[in-house]
Structure 1
Amino acid sequence: MNKTFRIYAVIFIVVMVILALLEVNKKETTNWRKNFDTNEKSPFGLFVFNNEAKDLFKNNLKKIDQAPYEYYSQYKKNNHNIVVIENDIDGESWKKILDQVSKGSDALLIVSRMPKEISDSIGFYDSEISFEEQNVLKLTDTKYQNDFIKLDKFPSGRGFSFIKPNVEVLGKTVEDKNTDQANFIKVKFGKGNIYAHSEPLFLTNYYLLKPGSVKYTQDVFSYLQDRETLWFVESSTKSSSFFMRFVLGNPALKYAWWVFLGGLILFIFFNAKRKQRIVPVIEPLRNTSLDFVKSIGNLYLQEGDFHDMMAKKAQYFLNKVRMDFLIDTQNLDDEFAKKLQLKTGKTMEMINEAIHLIKKGQDPYSSVMKEDLVRMNKLLDEILK
């Protein structure tokens, strides 16, 4: 274990100890978030209602963890009851629910913000009707006049306004300083009925555990017929088997998990940066052909055989003329010189001087000097450019 790793390990352990001490000394706080989760035991979860729902519906309740659109596309159902409690449902699913109601089913929608697909179809608008910190929910039917529930913790204050004549008001929000406002209504839709309640808080753990609150809940659900009831629960219940759900659901474990991940990423980053292997330097491949040419050239220069070098240069030049310019090199006469001048665009003086030196290199009895070789090499390279 190197020194750098030990330093990071000590820092990580110190941070974890500090977090543990802070967590131990932290006062227990109540989670007042309105989650409406059937597995949550926090004040505004639905754990209690979920456990008592079967008895409430006389074992005719079936929880569905699919979207209504997906469920009704797979199954054909006879007339039944539909329950939706503060669930975020897509527009196509609402259309499926309305289609089932129109055929004779009943739907009880307990949501604080009624979707536009429903309000536009049955004729009402939901809005903010109260800004009081507490209010009372009561039913309008005289047989339920003694059953009510008092909301003293974070009521939504929402209800229904601009109600059309065909809408029956079943329940109201009662306040000391304001007039009663509708919060529970019934609308005939096709062959079935839609019941809409704008305050789902009365179903949460906090209120169901209060004395006398259960009766109000029973009264609300008593409007549904005694038949099979489908409860479309939150789709998030599908993720309850996720192995990190317990860790992320506990604040102390969640903070420790994120600190661990952050420390691990930092360790990998710095350790990988320091331990990176040296990239080897790869030498480019040498051009051995060029070395060979240089060696042969040096050999000829050392031998001083300028005549042979001129002959080979002349042979190479004439071969290039035949291949590139398609000019016959059998006779190096005036016609050859004229064709070469037309192909290359060089001056006639340069062409003639080059031909003279080529003939001199081809003549085995001519006297050749080093200057002749240098001059011919320069002229022939210039012509071939």
Structure 2
Amino acid sequence: MNRNLKVYVFLLVLILIGIILVDASRPKPINWTPTFALNDKIPFGLYIFGQESEKLFSNQKVTKHSNTPYEYFYDKYDYEDSTYTVKGDILFINDEFTIDKNSVDELFYYASRGNDVFISSSSFSKNLKDTLGFEIETSSIFMDSFALKVYNKNLNPKDYYYSKGVSTKYFSKIDTTTTVVLGHQSSTKENLTNFIKIPYKSGNFYLHTQPIVFTNYYMLKNKNHEYVEQITSYLNQDKIYWFVKSYNSGQLNQSPMRYILSQASLRWAWYISLISILIFIVFNAKRKQRVIPIIEPLRNTTVDFTKTIGNLYYQEGNHKNIIDKKIIYFLEKTRNEYLIETTELDATFINRFQQKSGNKKEEIAELVQLINQLKRKETCNESDIVTLNLAIEKLNQKKDK
């Protein structure tokens, strides 16, 4: 390692250490991004709910899945009995319910077989809204906080207050003949429906517009975890299939660089370091790049070989030998291309050749007659070679057209 390179490396390491020390000495800003990711410990992640889910559903078995409903239930459907081989409630918690259409259809099939689907999201897919007959709107009245409450008297309902990150979405249209209102969100000016139950064939859909209540921030704030216990109490089957967000946005990154990339300062320091090293390599390599020798491509000796063989035959002057080889080559080519027997060059051969090649029968007959004549001759001259070659080429040209 030369002296200049050592200086560059030393300065780069010094800058990186300085950035790390500065970043470590200042208070870390709180990340309020609503990720709804199972392993995120930031305020709006679902780490605490994920850890407490076993206690919350103590009498039920909770299974977390990172694939889509269609992928999970595809091989669990018995086509002979038109039933699923598994049974249980489905749980979705996300800021947006944006799964693929096949998975939404799978949810309908699954619910129609006597299962319940619980979805807590601030937005829902169009085909889900159209099929279940509801609409979502955003409240036009500004509110800095909401009181959320369920209607079920058996749950000892009371108001639970939420402010930061709360959605203003609510159910603006429902089918009142079938839909059951289970809860609302209220302010000083209005009451809005935010929790409903929609029967679907033999099952039910429980829809909730405030997924923020499941996040770490509110699970630890006051007694708001009681509200989560109340709304999830409707999931009462023995098994719960929780489809986590990882199939949309991925769970915790397992890369060794995940901590550096998760911190803005360290991330930019890492990018600057990589760019600096790349610039150094480019400029340093450009100065020291060795001369690339010119390598001549290999010559194509096929033409030379052909000329040599041609001159050999020409000097030997054995025209009969050349004619015999051209006849053998022509007959071999005819057998391979048209699958015609060439043992006897008679009328049968002419008819089959004409049918398969599409050439004129007269031209084929002339060539056959010429071949038979040349075979019988003991000596041939240059004119015979030219005549035979022209006759064969004439048939080949007709075939190519």
TM-score, structure 2 as length reference? 0.65
Q: How does 1:109-124 map to 2 (within 5 A)?
A: 109-124=119-134
The letter of the residue matching 2:66 is D
Match for residue 370 of structure 2?
A: none
The Cα shift of 1:224 comes to 1.8
Which of 253, 268, 275 is matched with 2:281 structurally? Answer: 268
Aligned to 1:170: 182
- Counterpart residue type for residue 55 of structure 1: K
Cα distance change on mapping 1:272 and 1:219 into 2, 3 Å:
same
Would the alpha carbon gap of residues 263 and 36 (structure 1) be closer, same or farther in structure 2, given more than 3 Å must change? same
Whether 1:79 and 2:91 are equivalent positions in the alignment is no
- CA RMSD of superposed structures (Å): 2.3
Pair 1:126 & 2:165 matched: no
Q: Which residue is 1:107 aligned to?
A: 117
Amino acid at match of 1:64: H
- Structure 1 residue 280: deviation in Å? 4.6
**Deviation for aligned residue 1:131:** 3.1
User: Displacement, 1:239?
Assistant: 5.8
Over 3 Å counting, the alpha-carbon distance change for 1:100 and 1:2 in structure 2 is same
Which residue, out of 229, 249, 259, partners 1:218? 229
Q: Which blocks of at least 5 consecutive residues in structure 1 are unaligned?
A: 285-385
Post-superposition CA distance 1:360-381 (Å, at most 9, x none): xxxxxxxxxxxxxxxxxxxxxx
Deviation at 1:206, TM superposition (A): 0.6
- Deviations 1:280-325 (Å, cap 9, x if unpaired)? 57899xxxxxxxxxxxxxxxxxxxxxxxxxxxxxxxxxxxxxxxxx
2:163 aligned partner = 152
Distance in 2 (alpha carbons) for counterparts of 1:25 and 1:216:
39
Look up the match of 2:31. Answer: 31
Q: Secondary structure of 1:188's match?
A: strand
- Do the aligned partners of 2:37 and 2:251 also contact (CA within 8 Å) in 1? no
How many angstroms does 1:226 deviate by?
Answer: 3.1
Shift of 1:252: 4.5
What is the rounded CA distance, in whole Å, between the counterparts of 1:247 and 1:117 in structure 2?
A: 41
Please report how far the alpha carbon of residue 10 of structure 1 lies from its aligned counterpart in structure 2 after TM superposition: 4.3
Over 3 Å counting, the alpha-carbon distance change for 1:95 and 1:131 in structure 2 is farther
| Paired residues of 1:203 and 1:217 also in contact (CA < 8 A) | yes
Partner deviation per Cα, 1:238-267 (whole Å, 9 max, x = no partner) = 664343333322444433332332222112
Matched, 1:92 2:102: yes
User: 2:313 corresponds to which residue?
Assistant: none
**Structure 1 length as normaliser, TM-score?**
0.68
The alpha carbon displacement at 1:46 in A equals 0.5
Alpha-carbon deviation of 1:185?
Answer: 0.6
Say which SS state the counterpart of residue 241 (structure 1) adopts. Answer: coil
Q: 1:181 to 1:4 in 2, by over 3 A?
A: same
- Distance in 1 (CA, whole Å) between partners of 2:165 and 2:73 is 35
SS in 2 for 1:277: coil
Report the alpha carbon displacement of residue 223 of structure 1 after superposing the two structures with TM: 1.2
In the other structure, the counterpart of 2:381 is none
The answer to whether the aligner puts 1:69 opposite 2:81 as a matched pair is no
Identify the match of residue 234 of structure 1 among 233, 241, 245.
245
Larger mean Cα displacement after TM superposition, 125-134 or 115-124: 125-134
> Percent of pairs identical after alignment?
33
* Whole-Å separation in 1 of the counterparts to 2:9 and 2:256: 27
Q: Please give the residue correspondences for 1:1-385 in structure 2 after superposition, counting only pairs within 5 Å.
A: 1-58=1-58, 59-76=60-77, 77-86=85-94, 88-129=98-139, 131-144=142-155, 146-165=157-176, 166-177=178-189, 179-235=190-246, 236-237=249-250, 240-280=253-293
Mapped contact 2:40–2:252 kept (Cα < 8 A): no
Q: 1:174 to 1:3 in 2, by over 3 A?
A: same
Equivalent AA in structure 2 for residue 80 of structure 1: G
Q: How many residues align?
A: 283
Cα distance in structure 2, aligned partners of 1:149 and 1:26 = 35
Q: 1:18 to 1:271 in 2, by over 3 A?
A: same
Are the aligned partners of 1:186 and 1:194 in contact in 2 as well (CA < 8 Å)?
Answer: yes
Contact 1:64 1:232 in 2 (8 A): yes
Which residue of structure 2 aligns with residue 294 of structure 1?
A: none
AA aligned to 1:60 is: K
Q: How much has 1:149 moved relative to structure 2?
A: 2.0
Query: Structure 1's 156 and 238: CA in aligned 2 closer, same or farther, altered over 3 A?
Result: closer
Tell me the CA shift for residue 269 of structure 1. Answer: 1.2
Where 2:171 maps in the other structure, the secondary structure is strand
Distance in 1 (alpha carbons) for counterparts of 2:69 and 2:6 = 56
Distance 1:209 1:283, change over 3 A: closer
**Counterpart amino acid of residue 256 in structure 2:** F
**Larger displacement relative to structure 2 (199-208 or 56-65):** 56-65
Cα contact 1:124–1:160 (8 A) shared by 2: yes
C-alpha change, 1:216 and 1:170, in structure 2 (3 Å) is same
How far residue 92 of structure 1 moved from its aligned partner, in angstroms, is: 1.2
Q: Is the contact between residue 138 and residue 145 of structure 1 (CA under 8 Å) also seen in structure 2?
A: no
Q: Which has the larger radius of gyration?
A: 1
Deviation (angstroms), 1:14: 4.2
Partners of 1:239 and 1:153 lie apart in 2 by: 24
Specify whether residues 62 and 193 from structure 1 end up closer, same or farther in structure 2 by C-alpha distance, changes over 3 A only: same
Paired with 2:296 and 2:153, the residues of 1 have a C-alpha distance of: 98
* Contact 2:63 2:242 (8 Å CA) reproduced: yes
